[in-house]
Amino acid sequence: MDKINLEEFRNIDMNPFDGALKLISGKWKMNLLFCLSEFDTMRYGEIKKTLGSITPHVLSVKLKELEANELIERHEYPQVPPKVEYTLTDKGRTLIPILRSICDWGKEYCVDFQDKQE
Amino acid sequence: MDKINLEEFRNIDMNPFDGALKLISGKWKMNLLFCLSEFDTMRYGEIKKTLGSITPHVLSVKLKELEANELIERHEYPQVPPKVEYTLTDKGRTLIPILRSICDWGKEYCVDFQDKQE
DNA sequence: TCCAATACTATCATTTTTGACCCTAGGTAT
DNA sequence: ATACCTAGGGTCAAAAATGATAGTATTGGA
């Protein structure tokens, strides 16, 4: 009787949210962005070293995706051995506050993660 | 000659960042949190409807993960047909600013995603 | 001549994530 | 008696993401 029309009970536009996620979600992507937000310029090898367990393949795939989405830039120096530097673009830099706040949140709520492994 | 020790060129503590990601990354998870941040209380069916393409199985898996991490709470009403409501916990609510800023970022930088499909 | 250095690529293998589909409980309305 | 309602669970299957491993190019130096 007092049944409401469930077809339109309430709605939300997830598009901008999904759109953002499409660019920044996926393993390693946010880590890469965070790295570059902390250290303006990094070479391929430095990133790899900093992330530790990422494989070269995955790293280059992710770097390419981020570059395709214009969040990072690739600067190649014509020398041997090769030297390639990565930086955030202006668009990428607008993510810095978000990345920082995620890190801060982690500091507050995920500190004891390591030690809790029994 | 001027070779530096690459073993310690620079360092960063990714732990809090990774810790945070561990709780909120993965498909659907942020969407769920975002949903619940927009609508304080939602029933299982409402969430499913709002997210559209999520399957019941995946939805319940994700809800459980978020609950296990104390980001959301499950309130079950002893009635038939069943009624279960989900809300953010206090801890989960601390994510709201982050979720909102991601959405805002998406509005600014990912608006034309839909139309650009040719 | 051969090795070192760097930033990758290519080719699989594997893991992780996601989805399809059907099933259940147990009051209520028909 | 029986279909209906909701919030899932169970069991595969499929797809997507990630990983392992080895290899390439170039040039200066031992």
Residue-wise pLDDT for A73-98, tens only, equals 999 999 888 999 999 999 999 999 99
Is position B108 within any domain? Answer: no
Q: Does A20 touch chain B (CB under 8 A)?
A: yes
Q: Residue B114 and residue B118: Cα distance in Å, rounded? A: 10
Binary contact (A19, B101; C-beta < 8 A)? no
Is position B46 within any domain? Answer: yes
**Hey, what are A82's tokens?**
């090769």
CATH number of the CATH domain containing A59:
1.10.10.10
Binary contact (B39, A10; C-beta < 8 A)? yes
Q: Does B78 touch chain A (CB under 8 A)?
A: no
Is position A5 within any domain? Answer: no
Amino acid identity of B58?
V
Amino acid identity of B22?
K
Beta-carbon count within 10 A of A28 CB: 21
Residues B81-95 have a mean pLDDT of: 95
pTM above 0.95, yes or no: no
Is position B21 within any domain? Answer: no
pLDDT digits (tens, 9 = 90+) for A18-53: 999 999 998 999 999 999 999 999 999 999 999 988
Binary contact (A20, B106; C-beta < 8 A)? yes
Q: Is the pLDDT of residue A113 over 50?
A: no
Whether B33 contacts B39, CB under 8 Å: no
Closest nucleotide to A64's CA, by C1' atom?
C8
Residue A69: the pLDDT is 95
* Domains: count for chain B: 1
- DSSP structure class, residue B17: H
